[in-house]
Amino acid sequence: MLLHIPELLTREELAHARMLLANADWEDGRVSAGQQAVQVKHNLQLPPTGNTARELAALVQRALARNPLFMSAALPKTVMTPMFNCYQGGMNYGNHVDNAVRHDPLSGQYVRTDVSCTLFFSEPEEYEGGDLVVEDTYGNHRVKLPAGDMILYPSTSLHRVEPVTRGARLGSFMWTQSMVRDDSKRALLFDMDMAIIGLRQRVGECQELVNLTAGYHNLLRQWAEL
């Protein structure tokens, strides 16, 4: 499932994050890459244990926790500490698949990567290139979102970031271990949840809606790993 989550950050949060990123000290992004990814990763990254990265990570984590689309689509068990990167001057990240298991640099916890997310801090007109390209069975999906918006996609997806030829592309990337590890099952539950919400808004409570809600929770009960 590929899902656009608009306005994850408020205007005030976005402005504060951009100010912090503009004054940040960056390092070579390859320090966090796996054995395969290090060959194709060319970007800058904030040291995750630094004060700026910690403040930004806390801001993003609060935004994720209050966002109903993220919660419904990801069904998070554990959200790894968000990290932050910059692409400029031709930097890119070639085709790769995210590591199946990652080590959180702050909590020390190992996280299975079921869901990947990219949160954009730069407006599309502020840079050229830099499209996130996610490949799945339906083809290539090119993603370049407004600042404050986020894209969510399965961590099993082959994906890349195309070269940034003008300006700078600032973003956050993060992984979630879901209660439901299978993407097709998460997609089914998400569709059911959106249908339930839409029906409740249109017709209010009724017995059929109660039955549909029960079906959703019984499927989640069957598939969830806690």
User: Tell me: the pLDDT tens digits for 48-100?
Assistant: 999 999 999 999 999 999 999 999 999 999 999 999 999 999 999 999 999 99
Give, to the nearest 10 degrees, the angle between helix 51-65 and helix 11-22: 160
42 is in an annotated binding site: no
| pLDDT score for 39 | 78
- Regions of the chain with pLDDT less than 70: 32-38
Please name which of 183, 195, 211, 114 lies closest in space to residue 155, comparing C-alpha atoms.
Answer: 114
Is 154 buried (19+), middle (13-18) or exposed (0-12) by CB count in 10 A? buried
* Helix pair 183-203, 207-223: axis angle to 10 deg: 160
pTM value?
A: 0.93
Task: Give pLDDT, residue 136.
Answer: 87
- Domains of the chain in sequence order: 3-178 (2.60.120.620), 183-223 (4.10.860)
What is the predicted pLDDT for the residue at 88? 97
Please check if 96 is assigned to a binding site: yes
User: Is 98 annotated to bind ligand?
Assistant: yes
> Residue 141 forms beta bridges with which residues?
134
Q: Is the dihedral of CA 150, 155, 156, 161 positive or negative?
A: positive
